[in-house]
Structure 1
Amino acid sequence: MAEKSQSVQSQLSQILRRLDKLEVAHRIGAGGGSSTVTGSSGDRAEGVGSCTLPAVPERIFSSNVSPYREGLIRYIGKKWVNGTRLKYYFFEDAPLKGDASNVDLVRQGFQVWEDVGIGIEFEEVTNIDDANVRIGFKRGDGAWSYVGRDVIDIPGRHERTMNFGWDLTLDPRGGGVDTPVHEIGHTLGFPHEHQNPFAGIVWNEEAVYDYFAGAPNYWSRQQTFHNVLRKLGPSEVEGSQWDPNSIMHYSFAAGLILEPAEYRVGLNPSDGLTEADKEQARKFYPDKPPRYKNLEPFELEFLSIAPGEQKDFVIEPTRSDEFTIQTFGRSDVVMVLFEDVDGEMEFVAGDDDSGADLNAKITIRLVRGRRYILRIRLYLNWSSGDTAVMMW
């Protein structure tokens, strides 16, 4: 009888684990691969999976780049210069076209970030040539986005930089809006929060591999490591405290986390952005009017800013000609030039000298009577002295 009782208990435990997996699979709202599940009516609807970040080549630094310098570059490198207007486009033809309800949920996701009050603007465009964020809804291809300025390296006119691989209206987290908010968070340059090295998460690794190998994700071990188990370098999060409720955090089923002990029964982030999410966004993208200083030809302007800070200049050429704009000093910066067209910043050119023994340099034809805005974000002055910029 005792053996029979143990057998029944074992079977019940297995059934409960399966039910737990199914329930959490439907609760996970942080993006993901997708599959189909069958309801009691026999109708087939798409499952909700987990966000799978596209793998991009890891940047390799030369031996003369110090660990501190490398850390700051990795921490800041994927973020946009503040004041950037990100233009997004929805594909209009199958198989990348989304239905109206899904497109509207993504629009709501952009509005959630705008409502935070950050120095990044979003604009929907109908011409794909005007977009730097290209959004598809290819079913079965998961939910994903390239991180921050990585989208610049995806130049193909018909290549997506973001995708939603299932019907967002079936996603219960945040009423279907949280998955777009999560993916847009990646586009703003924010990584997965559960990979924060300060989280102190001890994984039941084989259970994690087994869980994500099944429905609805069907990930390889490499995908699971890349998206879940791989810890970010401490410099990439710059000591930020772990936020288990972050919009950038996955949900996890019971049995996947060993420590902290309170999450052995599972971890389900709350809906929406947390205050920590908002604080991080405002840190990189403060919503305050920039202080512009005129950049005149042959006048050296010192930046005098700290790592991560930004300085903005206005350029109003008195003649149409080819000009060179260059930084000076032993520093790492990203420098971007916009044209002010009726108050909207249109990208003109940019350069990033981080990790190189060079200076940022833009050579471009400027037109008399037009107004240009130069934005420079500093990674680090990696030697003594200040950084300056000049135009000639």
Structure 2
Amino acid sequence: MSNENRPLCLTKPIVQRELPAGLPDLRMRLIRVLSKVWVNETELHYFFIDGPEAQREAVRQAFAEWKALPLGLKFTETTDRGSSEIRIAFDQADGSWSYVGRDLLGIPATETTMNFGWDLTDDYGHTTALHEIGHSLGLPHEHQNPFSGIVWDEDAVYKFFTGSPNFWTRAQTEQNVLHKFSAQEVDGSPWDPNSVMEYWFPAGLIVQPAQYSGGLEPAGGLSDQDKEWAKKFYPATTAAVTELKAFESKVLQLSAGQQADFTIVPDASQDYTIATFGQSDMVLVLFEDDNGSLRYLGGDDDSGTGLNAQLKTRLLAGRRYVVRLRLYWAGGSGKSSIMYW
């Protein structure tokens, strides 16, 4: 397939978090940078809605390549649509796209969260599969990096993307190409023109940097910077897991982006509250151990509110549950705590 005929990924709108006015810049930035990132060691279940076996296998291989970096995430194929976070279709009339990171949790189980609109069995298809999985891990498009320094010929950009083979609207072109994320929404890494999250662009769209005025063609596959980002947020290390007993508070002293994991094995079947305490911002996620597979039960993200993360749910006696906390901002004291009752 020639460059001119290769369509590009069209992501779904990213959910923009509304934060209270008056938050310190550092606190606001940490929340926004980490808001799409999963807690580490999450098990993401993917479900194929349809599709030929060759296309499904190409997606499995792309998941395996991300995992082999190695990552502290687990990707598990499931035949139970209701328990899947990632639901994959192969609608050839709908292009290739994915929701981004933890936005997946807000999509009803009846809906697709990732689609592939062209063949995945060649090199470009393999990069496409890696790209869409990158979105599901929390990665946006690389050319929207505010540190890229890209100056566009906007008229040429609109003309190209509203025409064949993409046929996007001007609004879709703005959302996926011209819009730059603010410096508070990304982790500050320099632009990577070879990122798997980077588009290819024909000549005449980029004015600056001048070296790309004749077009930009990423190498394909995962770049060194892609791998570095993924391993930074999802390190393949086994964190110490502490048992959390009812009514016993555990003090946390974490840095931004760090995580703490706890197990809960309740003595009685009843409704419980799991909550954090202190001035910090963090996300709290609860999983149930289902014969070795961790199933997402719920979570809460208190970021920016000062209300602390809190989850109320029914737990069953003798069952094993895992609570994971990822810190955004440590607060004035740098300490917080967790307890359930």
One-letter amino acid of the counterpart of residue 189, structure 1: G
One-letter amino acid of the counterpart of residue 246, structure 1: S
In the other structure, the counterpart of 1:218 is: 167
Residue 172 of structure 1, CA deviation:
4.3
One-letter amino acid of the counterpart of residue 160, structure 1: T
In the other structure, the counterpart of 2:188 is: 239
Q: d(CA) in 2 for partners of 1:342 and 1:59?
A: 35
SS at match of 2:275: strand
Give TM-score scaled by structure 2 length. 0.95
Equivalent residue runs for 1:1-392 within 5 Å:
23-26=2-5, 48-91=6-49, 97-155=50-108, 157-169=109-121, 172-173=123-124, 176-384=125-333, 386-392=335-341
Q: d(CA) in 1 for partners of 2:82 and 2:289?
A: 19
SS at match of 1:234: coil
CA-to-aligned-CA distance 1:128-181 (integer Å, 9 cap, x gap): 1121111111122111000001011111x3210001122334x542xx211011
Q: d(CA) in 2 for partners of 1:312 and 1:57?
A: 27
> Can you give the 5+ residue segments of structure 2 that lack an aligned partner in the other structure?
none
CA RMSD of aligned residues (A): 1.6
Q: d(CA) in 1 for partners of 2:97 and 2:246?
A: 44
Residue 234 of structure 1, CA deviation:
1.1
Q: d(CA) in 2 for partners of 1:150 and 1:252?
A: 27
Residue 56 of structure 1, CA deviation:
4.1
**Deviates further, 242-251 or 135-144:** 135-144
**Deviates further, 290-299 or 80-89:** 290-299
CA-to-aligned-CA distance 1:266-323 (integer Å, 9 cap, x gap): 1111121111111100111111112011212222211100111100112222333322
Number of residue pairs the alignment of both structures matches: 341
Q: d(CA) in 1 for partners of 2:16 and 2:41?
A: 27
One-letter amino acid of the counterpart of residue 18, structure 2: I
Residue 376 of structure 1, CA deviation:
0.3
Asked if the contact 2:280/2:330 (under 8 Å) is kept, the reply is: yes
Counting aligned pairs with the same residue, the percent is 49
SS at match of 1:235: coil
